[in-house]
Structure 1
Amino acid sequence: MTDPRRTEQPHPDFADLDILDMPDLVRALAEDQRLAVEAVVRAAPALARVVEGALPRLAGGGRLLYVGAGTSGRLGVLDATELTPTFSWPPERAVALIAGGDRAIREAVEGAEDDFGAGARDVRAAGAGELDVVLALAASGTTPYVLGAVEAARAAGAFTVGLANNPGTPLLTAADCAVLLDTGPEPISGSTRLKAGTAQKVALNTLSSALMVRLGKVYGNLMVDVRATNAKLEARALRLVCHATGEDEDAAQRALAEAGGSVKTAIVMLRLGVGAAEAVARLEAAAGHARAALGESLLGEQRGEPFSPRKR
């Protein structure tokens, strides 16, 4: 029986994978990963549409909800978790739902991905609403848990995004915005933790990073909302302030201390010669965008308008 999903089909170029010598085996597996990046590049227009649709909702106070099973679910957990230390995104606004619950992060929970109702229940339990953005991932594009989640999310008025590695699949049809990551057959037949998973990781990196840029979490290409929770990040925060302002480390350190460790606030303080309270006020007036707070030009689309349900 032939499975129409490309990710499930044996790759004709790797029929002798198990008898390759070590250098050729490693090279074959590594080189095949390049196709993951190419798939994401092809999907760039769809990813841009996701950012455009998600931005006003998040600017209005909405959340990112990640939904997946197995590898896809774990990649969602990873992306959600990294937003807080990297961009100071509130952890309660990055919710990861995985088939089988938290136990499935570390071990396989057999059959969980086949439960359509569980996906719907998990989304309802998370309180999905009109301001929320649901990123639903399934390499196959047919995972029942994920499809159930999308159905419930759409019923709640959330903006749903389907990311799948097979064209013409139910997930891409069900979601408000479809992102096809067409990576084709895997070198190890059906092992979507390989380039299908890599493509999902790159796509999530791209999506969440683009959103954070547009939400003012980045000044130039500096991650000025980094949360300095350890010595490495404290040193990084100091370097960021020095780079953005041209000040020496002593001045940057004093500003950071007065700003409570906020890189963005320290930059505005030093660039404008104001105190922490004034810098915070300027940032609040600029919706958190350092460039606007500094009086520099800012694309209108970067700040955006908060989403209103009346505009749907």
Structure 2
Amino acid sequence: MVSLKDIAKACGVSTSSVSKALNGHKDISEKKKEEIIQVARDMGYMPNAAARSLKTNRTYNLGVLFTDKTQRGLTHEYFSCVLESFRVEAEKHGYAITFISQNIGGKPMSYYQHCMHRGYDGIVIASVDFRAPEVMELIEGNIPVVTIDHLFNDRTAILSDNVDGMKQLVQYIHKCGHRKIAFIHGEDTSVTQKRLASFYKTCEELKMKIPDEYICEAIYHDPKATAIKTKELLELAIPPTCIIFPDDFSSIGGINVIKDAGLRIPDDISIVGYDGIYLSRVLEPSLTTLKQNTDELGRLAALRLIELIEKPKTAIPQQVIVKGELLLGNSVKKL
């Protein structure tokens, strides 16, 4: 194992100079500091976690609170990509991540109690019922928190631009000649509220009137719920020519119902998804969708959380909005 003494010998400096460089002390020149840090990296130096924790009063462990209604866990491709990006960026800065639960060794406890028990330096929260009392306890606690896709007052949030994303989708569908556009949205969350408001606003700007029966509620990431709502839309006296699904994964349910009805996509009916996960590219036909920038969402969540931890006096709570990208597939017919 590489020691401070080994690095000092390689750099031709004292061990105290190495220690100062690795700990960011100001009484050593930037040039010399960078040189020592680079040598330490090249030699594969890893600081002792226990010693570092004692010195900095931090555990270098971040808690992740993530649940979803369909209980798919990390098989949920969108959030697994966001959290993977979060993990990679956190590890670059010397932090490990652990998932938060309400049970340790068979002993029930609240999320906040779990976090205090583990001594987390900070917490990232994604895809939960943000209104639940146990989540609010975390938000109002003393541990630095960053949320993904949900906004609280005086807390840092990393937000996918759902308003612009939905606008891009509706404008494209309209450009293809569609005026009878249905929207199956997810459950009532801040994400849904933004997408729904943007849907109506964009339709209004394009002078399209959308019948109430064209708007349906299902559940995110749930093909069965989407299948039920798709069937209802197809059975309307005047069915839509295009359906916007809650997300790419749940579109599978809608696609199966459309095919079972003897209809072809996009010849008989057009569809679009949301998220831009890998599945959207391999479906037949490929799905037109809005790709959310999962890499940037996770990376920024890690950076902002670490800033809150390491610079508590200067870090300002902020809302960071990350734009998505329209991916054109073959699922929308040009009328």
TM range (shorter): 0.3 to 0.5
Q: Which has the higher contact order (CA 8 A, sep 6+)?
A: 1
Which is helix-richer, 1 or 2?
A: 1
TM-score where L is the length of structure 1: 0.39
Q: Could you say which structure has the higher strand fraction?
A: 2
Structure with larger Rg: 2
